[in-house]
Copies of this chain bind each other. A is one copy, B any other.
Amino acid sequence: MTSPSAAASSAATRSDAARNRGRLLDAAAGLIAERGSDVDVREIARRAEVGMGTLYRHFPTKEALLDAALEYVFTSWAASATAALTGRAWPDLSGFLADALTRQTASPGLLDAYCQALPGQAGNTARQHCRQQVGPLIADLVRAAHESGELRPDITAEDVSLLLVALGRIAPVVPEPAWRRILHVALDGLRTSAATPLPDAAQATPGH
């Protein structure tokens, strides 16, 4: 996690102000990663070696700070995930999911934020951009896997997103082999060969 300080200055900002802003973002990102989305502002300030006043001059509210920090984290996630693509559809898709869950294991707060950006969540507008970072990537992966014929055609990018969030909620909480098994099962369910008729978005009766 390198510094996001670069994105600080727009006009003639005082240099110390820019530096402190960067420190706050770093500290917030780190704490979110370690402990999830409910962090104490005092602790962020302490970690950034900055006073409360400074924190609240740079960000109007705790929410705004977390939001800015998450945007940074998600952007870099999307970038590194994109860089890891090989062009082979199925390995890329499953690799992306495994990588996302590994990240989540290390930073339980990551998908927390992603989850809060699910459509229909109350007061989610501020977190939508988190989703916008990875959303298009997932859509691409899904499209490629459809074209290669390995992903069952009735699966949407939304389905994959939800699956990721669901698995992300347990990944930090169980030993890694356990969630890898579940991911494996899910991937098997996503394969063309496994397809049984899927309920569409309107109606639904899963069992048979």
Contact = CB atoms under 8 A, between A and B. Distances in A.
A51 interface: no
Interface string A173-208: 111111111111111111101111011111111111
A170 interface: yes
Contacts of A158: 178
Contact of A186 (B169, B186, B195): B186
Contact of A170 (B166, B188, B206): B166
Interface residues of A, number: 54
A118 interface: yes
A180 B194 contact: no
Nearest to A90: B208
A157 to B, nearest CB: 12
A159 interface: yes
Contact of A182 (B95, B163, B196, B203): B163
A170 B181 contact: no
Interface in A79-123: 90-91, 94-95, 98, 115, 118-121
Contacts of A196: 184, 188, 191
B118 A174 contact: yes
B177 A162 contact: no
A167 interface: yes
A155 interface: yes
B191 A204 contact: no
A27 interface: no
A185 B155 CA distance: 9
A120 to B, nearest CB: 7
A165 interface: yes
A203 B177 contact: yes
A5 B181 CA distance: 42
